[in-house]
Amino acid sequence: MNRSILAIDQGTTSSRAFVFSLDGTILASSRYEIRQIYPGDGWVEHDPAMIWKTALQSTRDALQKAGSDVATVGIANQRETTLIWDRGTGEPVYNAIVWQDRRTAPACDRIRQDGHGREITARTGLIADAYFSATKIAWILDNVSGVRSRAERGELAFGTVDCFLVWKLTGGAVHATDATNASRTLLFNIHEQDWDDHLLSLFDVPKGLLPDVRDSADDYGITDSRILGVELPIRGVVGDQQGALFGQACFDPGMTKSTYGTGCFMIMNTGSEPVVSRNRLLTTVGYRLAGQVTYALEGSLFNAGTAIQWVRDNLKLIRHVREIDALIESTHDNGGVYMVPAFTGLGAPHWDPDARAAVVGITRDTGIAHLLRAALEAVCYQSRELIGAMEADSGRQLDRLRVDGGMAANDWMLQFLADILDTVVEKPTVIETTALGAAFLAGTGHGIFASIDEIASRWSRESLFTSDMGPGRRKALVDGWNDAVGRVKTR
C-alpha cells in the first residue's frame, strides 16, 4: 500500500501543501504567500491566478520533497471566498471575493429588513451576513458586465476555493464541493442537504452556476497528469475550519476546537442533530461521511492574527513575530491597554459589520510591548465570548479546548487563554490540523482508514495549559475588555 497522503491547504494568507505519513507525521511541506487586495474600505480580494499558482507550486514542491508514493489527495480551503469562472476556458470573470469582504453588508441589511432573516437561519443555520457567499455571488453577477446573462445561459460556474482547485486539478472534469463548504454559502439547506430553490430565488442566483455537493470523504476525480505529472485520486474535500475539527479528532458531541490564524474559528461538535443557537452562533455542517451529517456550532472572529500583522506591517513596530515573546515577557500586565481588532467589523456573537478597530487605555507609559500584549489578549477575550455562547446554546460545560493554527505556536497566548477561560487548553503534536483533517478525510475516502476511531487513536497532545489566575483578576480583565468592545459597537 502507498504510505502517504497529500493535503492541500489553501488559506487566506498562503497556499500550503503537506505530505503526511499514515500516522499523521509531516513528511514534507511547502508554502507560498497570497497577496491581499484591498480595493476599498472593507473590501478584500484575491487574484484567482495567484491562488492557483501558489497552490500548484506548493503541491509540486511537497511531492518532490517527500520522495514517497502518495495514495490520495485531500483539499482544505478558506471558506466562503467566492469565485465565478468560464466553464469553457476556466478563466475567472472577476477576482475572488474573500470571506472577510464587507461590500455586501448593505444588501444583507436590506434582506433582514425585508423580514427574511429568520427563514434564512432556519434553512441554513447561518445569518444574513456579508461573510457568506450568496451576496458575493450576486454582487459579481450584477456588477461585472455581461456576467449575469452568461450565468443564465449556463456558461459560468461558481465555486468556493475547494471547488475551484478541484476543477483546475482535474482539468475541468469535476465541478463539485463538499457539504461543509456548501453549508457556508447561504444557499444550502442543511436539513435537506441540498441547494435550496427558495434561497436561490431570494438571492437571485441561477442554479446552473452551482456545483454538485458530495460527502467530505468522497470521489472528486483524478488529478490531470499534465498538471502534477501523476494521476492521483482526490478523495477528501473540507472547509478549513471543519478540517481542523476533524484533524483534532473532535468526534464526540461537546468536543471543541479553536483555530487561531488570520481569524479565530471555534467549532463544537453537536452530533447528529443541529442545535439552534439563541446566542448568534452559527449552526453548520461539521462533516458528512457516507451521507451521515455531523453538525456543529461555530463562532467566527474575523481578525486574530491580523492584529499582529497590523502591528508589524502597518505600524512597523516589530520586524518579525519572533520578537513578540521577549517584548511581552518584559511587561507585568497590559497597562490598562485593550485592542479591539474590528478591522472588518465584529463577528460572533456581536455581528456588527460597521464596528471598527480601536486601541483604548493608552497612556504616556504605553509601549510596543503593551500593544502586542493587547493584540494577543484580544483573541483570548473573544474566545471567552464564543465559549460562553456555545455553552449556553448546547447545554454542555466545556472542560477543555483543543487549539491549533499559527498563533497556537505562542505558549504565552495559550497560557493566557487558559487563564481567561478558566479551562484546560490542549495543543496537539501536529499543529497543522486543518491539512491533517483533509488528509484523514482523503484517507477515509480512499479506504485507508476504516473508522473515525482509528483516526482518533492517531491524535496526540504536545502541551497542556491550565488556569493560574484568580477569579478577581479574571473579572477585572474581562470587565475592561467589555468596556472596550462597548466603545466600538454600532448596534
19-32: pLDDT as tens digits: 999 988 999 999 99
Q: What pLDDT score does 311 carry? A: 77
Kindly give, in sequence order, each residue whose CB lies less than 8 Å from that of residue 211, ignoring residues fewer than 6 positions away: 157, 158, 159, 163, 175, 176, 177, 182
pLDDT in tens, 338-348: 988 888 778 77
CA contacts within 13 A on the Cβ side of 357: 20
Q: What pLDDT score does 2 carry? A: 61
Q: What pLDDT score does 395 carry? A: 87
CB 287 within 8 A of CB 242: yes
C-alpha cell at 131: 461573510
From the number of C-beta atoms within 10 Å of its C-beta (0-12, 13-18, 19+), residue 166 rates as buried
CA contacts within 13 A on the Cβ side of 383: 33
Q: What pLDDT score does 211 carry? A: 97
DSSP state of 166: H
Kindly give, in sequence order, each residue whose CB lies less than 8 Å from that of residue 227, ignoring residues fewer than 6 positions away: 56, 168, 169, 171
Q: What pLDDT score does 265 carry? A: 87
Q: Of 1, 29, 3, 6, give the one whose Cα is nearest residue 231.
A: 6
Q: For the chain, list residues with pLDDT below 50.
A: none
- How far is the C-alpha of 198 from the C-alpha of 190, rounded, in Å? 14
Pairing outcome for strands 26-33 and 14-21: antiparallel
Q: What pLDDT score does 431 carry? A: 86
SS3 186: coil
